[in-house]
Chain A
Amino acid sequence: MREIYLSGFNTFVLPFMFGMLFVLGWCLIGAVRIIFQLTPDDRKKFFLSFLNPKIMLKNIRDWFCDCLFHVKLWKRNKLLGYMHSSIAFGWFMLIVIGHIEVFLYTPQRVHQIWYPIFFRYFVAVTDSTMKGSFFFFLMDFFLLVVLSGIVLAIIKRARSRIFGMRRTTRASLTDLIGLYSLWAIFPLRLLAEGFTADISGGSFLTKSLNLVLHSFLSDQMNMLPTWWAYSIALCIFMCILPFSRYMHIPAEILLIPMRNAGIPVRHARKGISRLQVYSCPSCGVCIDACPMGVVKANSKDATVYLNRQIKRSNERRIEEISDKCLLCGKCTAVCPVGVEGDRIRIAQRSIRPYNLTPDYSNIDENSAILAVNNFVSTENNVVSNTNNERVLYFAGCMTALTPGIRKSMESVLRKAGVSYEMMDKDGGICCGRPMLMAGRKAPAKEMIRKNTNIIKASGATTLLLSCPICLKVFKEEYELEGIEIIHHSEYMDRLIAEGRLHVESSDVRYAYHDPCELGRGCGIYEQPRRVVAAAGQLVEGAKSGKESICCGGSLGSLSLGFEQRKLMTENAINNLTADNPDAIVTACPLCKTTFGRYADRPVVDIVEVIDSKTGN
């Protein structure tokens, strides 16, 4: 292999160099800004995470699996996964192998960063010295991989359903420029390398193209314009990148270690939330996932559009989108890059100014403290109360409106011989989660403080909850050292496993609905299923588990009215009744009330099922 130009430079590399330096500079400044926007503690945590080999290993795995192979998209749809990973991984390999070639054959050019990109313009190979044929083959192969991805991308623009997507993102102007320049880069590269393949050498793709081209274009001078065009396409893409969805490529590289370091969303627009916004690839997976999408107008309120509006600082739309959301967390669960749509929205709500702030100074928790020191011991049925377990049962606000749940829970506790006490017999203090969902942290903290005092004073060993909304906030925000926080579905699972509850099985077919805050919120999927399966035949909805559909009654949404939720509830019911179950079972009082309004079959809570199927 020899060089054919002494300088190793041609003016056509200038556009590329301009774009490259621009995008590198932009990303570097952006990364530094984001890291400095973190709180000092978070920043320390972030830097220290690089010293932890376990996290570092996970980083490396995630960089490969998420950025290059798009594993999560593969799981969703093979074609969609191939499309994304062929472009990402193919391009990555082109860059890597390009650099290897330079290192091996023209090491004196390593410092010229354009050299690997335009390698084949600068070198020549004679038939007798086909040293690079292996790499030439690889380069052609990966170029073909990328091109196949581009072809699929073009098809996807027209027919997204083939890729398992009902609705796709409406592209913005900069996205379109980015998209077309990206589509142009690789065919132009093929053309340019095709023109020079008889000089520089090539492989199956470029060589054959060279033959075709020379059959009707014999003038060598044709090759220069194609190299120019290739360089200009790269320049356009890199210059538009920070203003388009392709910003996700560099942003995700930083997001992965930050996510693995466990940095939480703290501010509406700064630090990791800004990074998440820029990491959004606008793939639109969240549009189909969003339960509000049954009303077509709501599909413009999916997380992908929130991210876009945050980039544009369109405050009116940011407010509208973040207030409407049910906070079911499904967009977060399906997002291939890990944008936390629900947390970002709560953060947007948290920066809203309020003239009136609540004042809970006259809410007196002392009377409640006196009332909780009176554990009901069920002497008639003391089975295995070996560990001095004292259960404090907090039914929650919503359960006050579903007395069936509360009554069955108490009955089950008595049957199992559990020593328990009600925390909110005559109404209690709200757990604080609904206030947190509205983004008002200070008043929520005050409620949390008061409830903490009551719970600690009770001397309970276990805090039992019927409402998953409460469960999440108790687990995440309360500091109750030594007190186990447990949802009634988990607790019954344990009682059954320990043999303290004897459930009679039946033929009734129950479809289990995963409440958002229990499943996606607290990761509890298996325990309630085991409990339901003990009492009857467990049936799954069309979508369940991580992808279960919100009942539509969520307290997360601040602006959705009662009527606007109807279609969402009906859609969720249709999803659950796909296999024609006898009854719908849920584990949340709010889901129960919401489904109960529109369902054509009984809707029961898991504890009611167990109570009715337990003898003793």
Chain B
Amino acid sequence: MKEIIVIIGGGIAGLEAASNLLKLGYSPIIIEKSDHLGGHVANWHKLFPDLTPAKDLVDELIASSKDANIFLNTEVSFINRLKDSYNIMLSNGISIITKYILMTTGFRLFEASKKEEYGYGIYNQVITNSDLEHWFNTGQDKRIDESPMNAIGFVHCVGSRDEKARNSQCSKVCCITAIKQAIELKEKFPDAQIYCFYMDLRLFGKKFEDFYTKAQRDHGIHFIRGRVSEVGENIEGKVIVKAEDTLAGKPIKVTLDLLVLMSGMVCNPDSSKTASMMALPIDSDGFLKSSDNVFHITASPKKGIFYAGACTGPKTVPETLAEARSAVLDIHSHITSQEK
């Protein structure tokens, strides 16, 4: 009999895990809360650093995992621990008994309106990174004027590295995402001055640094080391950003046509809710806690429960995919060792 493996979350981690499990001959079941697969990546336009269309990646993942059992618009109602397996009750009334659960519950974007000083939801010209990707995809956003813009700003670390926003961790991908989006906007509005307000630029991944250089040299994007502390509005309805240029050691003020807030990754409350049904530990940053953070990132302290992707902390797309495969291999070796 084929072993059933329940995957909670149909984002890229869940899909990649399902497709690999299928290849190994298992029977994965994906439980997805929303009405579509691919999670956050499905709403994205292009992926750094090669500007791969996100749609291509998601389509490929969906195609390779189409043989899995997929429940959309479905949530986990409760989970019972049986002797050596779990009984999962779904919101659509179906119950599943399985020995293996893979948590790919992902993250949630920080609610930018929580940082009121940045004016999201108050000023018309303030949008988030995900609003911008949505506009790239659909071309529809009332806040973005198609007429030429003079100046555009990006605020890094919105809700990340911020104890006041209750997220002290670095969201890892915003630096490179801001650079990517800045380049994309510069291509659409070549005459606009673009300013990135950062605290530290953390460009650790492959080709990230090249991307940064490209943004500086080829696109003339200005990088200002200083966290924005206040956003105001002038009489014409343009936003005024106040920061300190910490390298010049002087307060700095600039008038902008558009301000993009780089909302960070925070723990997904649904993830914590599901975790609490299985008494899984939550880390101090609110994300799920792995057995250890070096050798067993994909293992939970509970037997038969595994993690992959951003449910344990902010991750890039390649990291998430790699973790999904790694978790599949963990599950596979666990099953084969049981059979012996």
Residues of A within 8 A of B (CB): 400-404, 407, 562-563, 592-593, 596-598
Contact = CB atoms under 8 A, between A and B. Distances in A.
Interface in B229-274: 229-233
Contact of B117 (A403, A563, A598): A403
A519 B163 CA distance: 30
A90 B117 CA distance: 60
Contact of A403 (B114, B119, B163): B119
A403 B166 contact: no
A403 B164 contact: no
A597 B163 CA distance: 10
Interface in B183-242: 229-233
Given A597-B165, A597-B166, 14 more contacts: A400-B232, A401-B116, A401-B117, A402-B116, A403-B116, A403-B122, A403-B123, A404-B116, A404-B121, A404-B122, A562-B163, A563-B163, A592-B116, A597-B114
A400 B114 contact: no
A124 to B, nearest CB: 80
B251 to A, nearest CB: 10
A402 B164 contact: no
Contacts of A596: 114, 116
B233 A402 contact: no
Closest 8 CB pairs of A and B: A401-B117, A404-B122, A403-B119, A402-B116, A403-B122, A400-B230, A404-B116, A407-B122
Interface string B126-170: 000000000000000000000000000000000000011110000
A592 B231 CA distance: 17
A404 B116 CA distance: 7
B237 to A, nearest CB: 11
30 contacts: A400-B117, A401-B116, A401-B117, A401-B229, A401-B230, A402-B116, A402-B117, A403-B116, A403-B117, A403-B119, A403-B122, A403-B123, A403-B230, A403-B231, A403-B232, A403-B233, A404-B121, A404-B122, A407-B122, A407-B233, A562-B163, A562-B164, A563-B163, A592-B116, A593-B116, A596-B114, A597-B164, A597-B165, A597-B166, A598-B166
B213 to A, nearest CB: 36
Interface residues of B, number: 16
Contacts of B164: 562, 597
Nearest to B232: A403
Contacts of B117: 400-403
B43 to A, nearest CB: 25
Contacts of A407: 122, 233
Nearest to B116: A402
A592 B114 CA distance: 11
A592 B230 CA distance: 16
Interface string B62-97: 000000000000000000000000000000000000
A430 B209 CA distance: 44
A454 B166 CA distance: 39
B111 to A, nearest CB: 11
A604 to B, nearest CB: 11
B322 to A, nearest CB: 35
B35 to A, nearest CB: 26
B3 to A, nearest CB: 40
A404 B122 CA distance: 6
Contacts of B121: 404
A58 to B, nearest CB: 46
A473 B116 CA distance: 26
A395 to B, nearest CB: 11
Contacts of B165: 597
A401 B232 CA distance: 9
Contacts of B123: 403
Contacts of A598: 166
B208 to A, nearest CB: 32
B235 to A, nearest CB: 10
Contacts of A403: 116-117, 119, 122-123, 230-233
B238 to A, nearest CB: 14
A400 B122 CA distance: 13
A268 to B, nearest CB: 34
Nearest to B118: A403
Nearest to B234: A425
Contacts of A402: 116-117
A576 to B, nearest CB: 18
A400 B229 CA distance: 10
B306 to A, nearest CB: 31
Nearest to A405: B116
- Which of B117, B121, B123 has its CB near the most chain A CB atoms (within 10 A)? B117
Contacts of A563: 163
A248 B117 CA distance: 49
A597 B117 CA distance: 13
Nearest to A402: B116
- Which of B114, B122, B229 has its CB near the most chain A CB atoms (within 10 A)? B122
Nearest to B126: A403
B115 to A, nearest CB: 9
A468 to B, nearest CB: 18
A598 B231 CA distance: 23
B33 to A, nearest CB: 20
Contacts of A562: 163-164
